[in-house]
Chains A and B, each alone.
Chain A
Amino acid sequence: NAGVTQTPKFQVLKTGQSMTLQCAQDMNHNSMYWYRQDPGMGLRLIYYSASEGTTDKGEVPNGYNVSRLNKREFSLRLESAAPSQTSVYFCASSEASTPLHFGNGTRLTVT
């Protein structure tokens, strides 16, 4: 019963490098989300996917792209990492208007 699985758990990038954060859920949820968490800021929505094949911008989408690969997987890509993208990234999933289930996060540092 894994729930929401995020990989990697930790990552250090140099400015300008690219990487993809992976997220998979095994609860057959239609909706998936990417949030970032910064100290004192709570969680801010980057992108979400209401269903397979659809994605939409959240509050802070600049510098990110997403892919809803299938119903289970929703990836977040940083094309050219910047120090301002140093954060903890959380993936979540839900069904309709039910509460969100979160992964344990990816801690990203951009130097």
Chain B
Amino acid sequence: SQQGEEDPQALSIQEGENATMNCSYKTSINNLQWYRQNSGRGLVHLILIRSNEREKHSGRLRVTLDTSKKSSSLLITASRAADTASYFCATALYGNKLVFGAGTILRVKS
């Protein structure tokens, strides 16, 4: 069973626009992480937000966490063609055993 569910499944935008992806999960978590996967490659960690944090920034990335709604969002501002990838949220229930969602496929058109 999957803990995290991303929404939308796929997103297509123009270069320069913002991209927002959402993640919902089912049980209490220790932290929530976002990863990016370029085609044919392994996942790369983007950002980690702990359960006692509400918002975190890293460059053009902004992540929010609402533990009362069991949801998180990833905002990529001023998107670039190089941001084209699949994005996954992953929740850490305990220790470092991560449970991944099915991912959002982002396509940025130039």
Contacts and interface: CB of A to CB of B under 8 A. Distances in A.
B96 interface: yes
B101 A100 contact: no
B102 A42 contact: yes
Interface in B24-41: 30-31, 33, 35, 40-41
Q: Interface extent on B, as a size class? A: 20 to 34
Contacts of A41: 2, 102
B100 A43 contact: yes
A61 interface: no
B69 interface: no
A54 to B, nearest CB: 12
B2 A94 contact: no
A34 interface: no
Interface in B79-110: 88, 90, 92, 95-103
Given A31-B96, A45-B97, A100 B45 contact: yes
B102 A102 contact: no
Q: Which of A96, A97, A99, A101 has the most chain B CB atoms inside 10 A of its CB?
A: A99
13 contacts: A42-B4, A42-B102, A43-B100, A48-B97, A59-B1, A94-B96, A96-B96, A97-B30, A97-B96, A99-B33, A100-B96, A102-B43, A105-B41
